[in-house]
């Protein structure tokens, strides 16, 4: 099943299902052009993982970490499928980063890797937009990673049964493939990430873990169309403008 949040034609927020025929709620099916998609989750936080693919670490001339590198994005960073995302115009480089997002289904702390699947509600697509100019200048990455619209998410939360083993994560800019890798290339797999994160903090329902990006990151330009696709989830699509 693929779950969505959307505004119906009357402007009411609904939680429904994404189907081949449209978006369904309350016995009705809406054409996707007649509704506005919302981020499929309303997280208290997005926990992001840095350098979780060795080839991405190499392309940034960085070392492969010996433990997961963690940073946070707040709810202000959310953007939905179909949104035109507004990015800071004065920065020299803002990059796309395609990532598999893990959606948490229950409040949890101190979850072992062997029990990690029990707290996963599903999976989504994440674009971890990154302001490289400021990321290089500071250690906490607030300016580099936590600006408004810095985490488009969607279009759906797909239940675990929808995903194949080791799904492919891909980004496309204006239709051209830029990144592509399967999740078995992760340095730290999802179960280990959940164990490590929940040693430190409580995860809440709807929280998202953005699991890291493959090699092939690049700079966005005014008017670019960015697509993030994960097998079994679908495609998150946004256009870019700089304000």
Domains of the chain in start order, with CATH, are 1-38 (2.30.30.370), 41-242 (3.90.850.10)
The closest of 169, 159, 164 to 49, measured between CA atoms, is 169
Q: List the structure tokens of 1.
A: 């099943």
Question: What whole-number distance in Å separates Cα of residue 76 and Cα of residue 4?
Answer: 19
Residue 50 CB partners (closer than 8 Å, separation 6+): 65, 69, 70, 71, 212
pLDDT for res 139: 86
- 115, exposed or middle or buried, with CB in 10 Å at 0-12, 13-18, 19+? middle
pLDDT for res 189: 98
Taking only the tens place, the pLDDT of each residue in 28-50 is 999 999 999 999 999 999 999 99
Taking only the tens place, the pLDDT of each residue in 169-179 is 999 999 999 99
pLDDT for res 176: 98
Digit-by-digit pLDDT tens for the chain (243 residues) are 999 999 999 999 999 999 999 999 999 999 999 999 999 999 999 999 999 999 999 999 999 999 999 999 999 999 999 999 999 999 999 999 999 999 999 999 999 999 999 999 999 999 999 999 999 999 889 999 999 999 999 999 999 999 999 999 999 999 999 999 999 999 999 999 999 999 999 999 999 999 999 999 999 999 999 999 999 999 999 999 999
Question: What whole-number distance in Å separates Cα of residue 204 and Cα of residue 107?
Answer: 4
User: Going along the chain, which residue ranges are E strands?
Assistant: 2-7, 13-19, 22-25, 28-30, 36-38, 46-50, 69-73, 78-79, 84-87, 94-96, 98-104, 120-127, 130-131, 151-158, 168-173, 176-182, 208-210, 218-219, 225-230, 234-242
């Amino acid at each position: 099943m693929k779950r969505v949040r959307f505004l119906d034609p009357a402007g009411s927020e609904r939680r429904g299902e994404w189907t081949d025929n449209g978006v369904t709620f309350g016995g009705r099916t809406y054409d996707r052009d007649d509704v506005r998609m919302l981020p499929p989750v309303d997280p208290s936080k997005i926990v992001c993982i840095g350098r979780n693919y060795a080839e991405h670490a190499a392309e940034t001339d960085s070392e492969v970490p010996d433990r997961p590198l963690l940073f946070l994005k707040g709810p202000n960073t959310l953007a939905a499928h179909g949104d035109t995302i507004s990015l800071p115009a004065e920065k020299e480089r803002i990059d796309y980063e395609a990532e598999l997002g893990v959606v948490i289904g229950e409040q949890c702390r101190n979850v072992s890797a062997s029990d990690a699947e029990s707290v996963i509600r599903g999976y989504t697509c994440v674009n971890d937009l990154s302001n490289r100019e400021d990321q290089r200048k500071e250690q906490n990455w607030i300016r580099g990673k936590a600006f408004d619209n810095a985490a488009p998410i969607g279009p759906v939360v797909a239940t675990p049964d929808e995903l194949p083993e080791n799904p492919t994560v891909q980004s496309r800019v204006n239709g051209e493939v830029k990144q592509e890798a399967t999740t078995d290339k992760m340095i730290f797999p999802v179960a280990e990430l959940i164990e490590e994160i929940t040693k430190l903090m409580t995860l809440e329902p709807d929280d998202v873990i953005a699991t890291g990006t493959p090699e092939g990151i690049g700079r966005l330009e005014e008017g670019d169309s960015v697509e993030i696709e994960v097998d079994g989830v679908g495609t998150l699509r946004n256009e870019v403008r700089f304000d």
